[in-house]
Amino acid sequence: MYIYELESGSQVHIDVIVKGKKMEFDTTVTGSAPEIKSIKCEPIVINGKVLGFSRASVKVTATNSSDHRKYVFQIEKTANKRADGQLYLYCADDIKPVNNRESFRVPCGYRASIQVGDTKRKVESTVHDISYSGAALLIKKSARIIPVGSKISISIHDEDETEYKITGAIVRTVEDYTQDSSLLGVQFTEQVPAIISLVARLNVKAARVRGEH
C-alpha cells in the first residue's frame, strides 16, 4: 500500500526523532494527495502551537480504517504550512501490511475492568500482556474465576486514564498463576482501531527496551 491509499479516519501514530530526542504523537488521516504521494492528517498542536517536523526523522505506524491492517512508513518529507492547515506526510514506497498474527504479545500493566456477559458482575484486573488478537488478564485469587467460554467486555485504562473498550471471550484460565493472582486468557471478538493503536505503541516501547530502535 502507498501511504496516500490510507483511508480517511485511519489512526496514525508518529515517532519523531529531533536532535536525538524522541517524541510520539497520535493523529488521524483526513484525506490524501496522491499527486504528491502523501496523506493529510490533523495537525499536531501543543499549547496552541502547531508542530512541524521538517528537520526530524519521522516514522509513521498507521492502521487503515476499513480493514484494520497496520502499515509502517518511513516518512521522507513533512509539511504543515499549506493553506488547509493540515499535516502532510510524504512517502514514495509501496509498503506491505504488518502481519498481526505474527506480532508478539507485549507487556502492559494497565488496569482493566471486566464485565461478565449480561450480568452485573464486574472483576478488576491488570493487563499482564496484550496483542492485536487477545490479552492475558490477572485477577486476585480471592475473586471467583470466570469460566472458559464466558463472553466479557473489557475497559482498559492507560497511564493517562484514557479508556479503551473491547469485547472478548475467556479461552484459558490458570488459577495459581502467581501466589496472589489467577490468569485469564482472552481472545478478542472484535477489532477496535483504538486497541490496535494502543498495541502498536506498546510494541514500539517494547522494541526500544530490547534495543531494536
User: What CATH number does residue 54 fall under?
Assistant: 2.30.110
What is the band of 192 on the pLDDT scale with cuts at 50, 70, 90?
Answer: confident
The per-residue pLDDT for range 142-184, each reduced to its tens digit, is 888 999 889 999 999 998 889 999 999 998 898 888 889 999 9
State the pLDDT at residue 197.
Answer: 83
Q: Is residue 51 part of a domain?
A: yes
The pLDDT of residue 81 is 67
Residue carrying C-alpha cell 492502521: 63
Of the three residues 68, 98, 128, the one that is the final residue of a domain is 98
Residue 206: is its pLDDT beyond 80? no
Q: Give the separation between CA 170 and CA 32, rounded to whole angstroms.
A: 40
Q: Tell me, yes or no, whether 87 lies in a domain.
A: yes
Question: Is residue 212 assigned to a domain?
Answer: no
CB atoms within 10 A of CB 144: 10
Largest CA distance in the chain: 61
Residue 131's pLDDT band (boundaries 50, 70, 90)?
confident
Q: How far is residue 192's CA from residue 26's CA, in Å, rounded to a whole number?
A: 16
Q: Are residues 68 and 125 in the same domain?
A: no
Contacts of 173 (CB under 8 A, 6+ apart): 145, 146, 147, 148, 182, 183, 184, 185
For residue 16, the enclosing domain spans: 3-98
The reply to whether the predicted model has a pTM over 0.85 is no
End-to-end CA, the chain: 23
Q: Stretch 114-122: mean pLDDT, rounded? A: 90
Q: Provide the sign of the torsion angle of the four alpha carbons 19, 22, 28, 33, taken in this order.
A: positive
- Residues 92, 113: one domain? no
Name the pLDDT band for 211 (thresholds 50, 70, 90).
low
Between 213 and 72, the more confident residue is 72
Q: Is 80 helix (H, G, I), strand (E, B) or coil?
A: coil
- Quick one: pLDDT at residue 195? 85
Q: Determine the 3-state secondary structure of 84 from DSSP.
A: coil
User: Are 37 and 117 members of one domain?
Assistant: no
137/119 same-domain check: yes
